[in-house]
A and B are shown apart, each in its own frame.
Chain A
């Protein structure tokens, strides 16, 4: 069946460093992916998306990379700040709905 998974449950980085959060997906037919950030007690917040006809997309301090050959997504956060501390989910659009993985918790320490 289809699944979206993440390699690391928790990532700890020092403030100012770059963060990389990885995600594997299993459905090679998926053509749209989204990264969400979720803070405690809040709903998922859209960060950035990418379609399968692209391999890289940049936003403000964030970059998403898509490798369709190995079915891998990554989210790069530049100059990580304390406000970036949250759980990050990749989600795969499959048959008209988003399928989420379990998430990676990003902890930023001074």
Chain B
């Protein structure tokens, strides 16, 4: 399968714990995006990378959130000291070129914070 892969698919954690999600983009895609989606809403932009450089972070991304893409391939999104309000679907997407190109999404990681 050559699509965007996300792991895990589901994560249940207790409030205050740290969680980390992984995204493997389509190979040769140099842009990688993270979005968050809550029930009944459209995906909200969190951050994106051009190769290994993180070029933009949304105001939604508090200090508890950090994303990396160390070698310009896979990316990780870490949430520290999780809160119940962090419960959402976290989506990763990638695109081939710099801008104005279609994004291909993974199946997401569903996070539940108890």
Number of A-B contacts (CB under 8 A): 57
Q: Name B90-114 residues within 8 Å CB distance of A.
A: 91, 93, 98-100, 102-108, 110
Query: Contacts A49-B102, A103-B42 hold; do A43 and B107 have CB atoms under 8 A apart?
Result: yes
Give, as a whole number of angstroms, the nearest-CB distance from A85 to chain B. Answer: 16
Whether the Cβ atoms of B56 and A100 lie closer than 8 Å is no
| B40 proximity list for chain A (CB < 8 A) | 102-103
B65 CB within 8 Å of chain A = no
- Chain A 92-103 interface mask (CB, 8 Å, partner B; 1/0): 010111111111
Give, as a whole number of angstroms, the nearest-CB distance from A57 to chain B. Answer: 13
Give, as a whole number of angstroms, the nearest-CB distance from B31 to chain A. Answer: 8
**In terms of DSSP, what is the predominant structure of the interface of chain A?**
strand
Closest to B6 in A: A43
Count contacts on A: residues with CB < 8 A to the other chain: 25
Whether the Cβ atoms of B48 and A96 lie closer than 8 Å is yes
Query: Contacts A43-B108, A44-B43, A103-B42 hold; do A98 and B103 have CB atoms under 8 A apart?
Result: yes
Query: Contacts A96-B48, A102-B42, A103-B42 hold; do A45 and B33 have CB atoms under 8 A apart?
Result: no
Query: Contacts A96-B55, A96-B56 hold; do A43 and B45 have CB atoms under 8 A apart?
Result: no
- Chain A 35-72 interface mask (CB, 8 Å, partner B; 1/0): 01000011111100101000000000000000000000
What is the CA–CA distance of A49 and B103 in the complex, to the nearest angstrom? 11
| B43 proximity list for chain A (CB < 8 A) | 44, 89, 98, 100
Q: Which of A43, A102, A103 has most chain B Cβ within 10 Å?
A: A43
Chain B residues in the interface with A (C-beta under 8 A):
4, 6, 33, 40-45, 48, 55-56, 91, 93, 98-100, 102-108, 110
Q: What are 18 A-B interface contacts by the 8 Å CB criterion? A: A4-B42, A34-B102, A43-B108, A44-B91, A45-B105, A46-B104, A51-B100, A89-B42, A91-B42, A93-B100, A97-B45, A97-B56, A98-B33, A98-B103, A99-B45, A100-B44, A102-B40, A103-B41
